[in-house]
Structure 1
């Protein structure tokens, strides 16, 4: 009994052709319109749209509403364990910054209480930020920290890094981290905060930061899936 090979879907064939076209072009090069691509490849605009959408999700192309589709400028940023967003960016020669959305005292509840091993209703400090690379918003981050941390906004402003602020101003040093990585599609919050399209792929990392044996941070970070790769390294004795 012989196996039969099936032809690749039309959109996939076109997608790989466009990937090759992007590889030959300089970052920022404008691609032909969907109508022109459909005509030159003898296919429908729906097929062209699907091929482009997947390449945008993979970070090969950028699409700007009303302006067209371009060869992507930005290379992926790697997110590593036991380092902060700021440290990751600096290690790759990128300029990071943050836009603070709010710092508030909240009662512990749900998964945050469970992960931080505190009683429900205990005080937590909630920190919500937009993380930027080269002034472009690329991640939405919400961190929960045990207890109340007066002056945290000023400490963050001085250091630019939550880990540095915790160590320098509160004597809390993150020594270990447990990361859970999953994918999710962008909802209304990410559309509004990161300027994405509804349903855009996200890389979501839940991080439990430990200070020695003590839970000291529970953070959920939603990264643009076309701009980030998760990188882990283990030493095995």
Structure 2
């Protein structure tokens, strides 16, 4: 039976010490490998199952471990890097050699509400194209995205289905080229809708990103709200000096 080191600061919480031990345990394991059960870990490290549960929950929230009800806890795949620049979800996935896909939940033309109108600088009630999708990487749902685009876009559904990339379709088929984007990122906890759409647990960490995109003339051409799984994404912002 293993025990956690007694040489550490006594003020360090037991669950945190165990968390460090488990990180060492999984360091060389392949993604998808099941780890021992809570009971087995409690026995191995001579601690309570409550302590084990707290350590495991934090590692799941941080994306180091994954958990499927009834199947156990496993080593998670590395996080997907999402580079916030003039690229799309599809572009970022492709650059990392990952397969991206989308499930369209809604695609329609609606009257813009007050919030959408304010961001797209339109009169309230003006028509906007609303695209709601689940974004997937290697078949796993990782983000829920709703985009609003000014006006009606003829044959948009078929063109998007052929390409998959919103920015590619806007540029190639509608002459709309993104020249500038502004992203606002905040954190949130998963609610019932997120649980249903992304297959995560209640209270799981989320990254919520609002993107406002403008064309070369400074006109807003896209406003998008994206909810990313905090356990599976990390964001990188690249800024070049003007000097």
**1:168 Cα deviation after fit:** 1.5
Structure 1 distance, partners of 2:41, 2:18, is: 9
Equivalent residue, structure 1, for 2:232: 227
Shift of 1:44: 1.9
Q: Distance in 2 between matches of 1:76 and 1:51?
A: 23
Q: How many residues align?
A: 233
Runs of 4+, deviation exceeding 4 Å: none
Q: Distance in 2 between matches of 1:76 and 1:54?
A: 19
Kindly indicate whether the alpha-carbon contact (under 8 Å) linking 1:22 and 1:61 is maintained by their aligned counterparts in 2. no
Unaligned segments of structure 2, at least 5 residues: 1-8
Q: Is the 8 A contact 1:79 1:228 kept in 2?
A: no
CA RMSD of aligned residues (A): 1.3
TM-score using structure 1 length: 0.94
Q: 1:135 aligns with which of 135, 139, 144?
A: 139
- 8 Å contact from structure 2 (residues 82, 89) kept in 1: no
TM-score by length of 2: 0.92
Hey, what's the Cα distance between the residues in 1 that align with 2:126 and 2:117? 8
Q: 1:222 to 1:79 in 2, by over 3 A?
A: farther
Q: Which residue among 202, 214, 217 is the counterpart of 2:219? A: 214
Deviations 1:158-196 (A, max 9, x none): 111011111112111111100011111111111111111
- Cα deviation, residue 6, structure 1: 6.0
5+ residue gaps, structure 1, are none
Cα distance in 1 for partners of 2:180, 2:189 equals 29
CA distance in 2 between counterparts of 1:178 and 1:20 reads 39
Residue of 4, 11, 18 corresponding to 1:7: 11
The Cα shift of 1:78 comes to: 2.4
